[in-house]
Amino acid sequence: MATIGAWWVSSHDALPDEEVQWSGKGMWVKPTGSMIGGMLYLTDRRLLFSPHLVERLFRAEKRAVDLDAVESVSAESLSGSDVDSPRGNRLERMIRVEYGDPTEEPDRFAAVDPDAVLERLRSRIG
């Protein structure tokens, strides 16, 4: 079976005919607020987070988001600063992913280029 990942991050099993459309360094913000470093992969069907192997040793989880379950995506600031400020820290600009199921907590991700990820996610979910 094909995998999605690199030697220095945890891998995900690829779905049949799944294609990676974008990848880049990123972080997943756990519900507790702790940030886990790794890689983000946007495929034609999922948004995947793969933690660094060092993070994985400390029980950091992989995260796979089915894009069909995503209700909306938006930019969010961790510090309350203006998310559209060009002078702001890019890692303060989080990608917030909300689901159609109101009982499911939203996910937050940081990416080196959050605008590119948001644009691709918005075009995919409509």
DSSP labels, 51-110? EBHHHHHTTPPPEEEEGGGEEEEEEEESSSS-TT-TTS-GGGEEEEEEESSTTSPPEEEE
Structural domains of the chain, with CATH: 3-125 (2.30.29.30)
- Torsion of the alpha carbons at 55, 75, 93 and 80, rounded to the nearest 10: -110
The whole-chain average pLDDT of the chain stands at: 86
Per-residue pLDDT of 43-54, as tens digits, reads: 999 999 999 988
Per-residue pLDDT of 4-26, as tens digits, reads: 998 889 999 999 999 999 999 99
Residue, of 81 and 39, whose pLDDT is higher: 39
Q: How many residues does the chain have?
A: 126
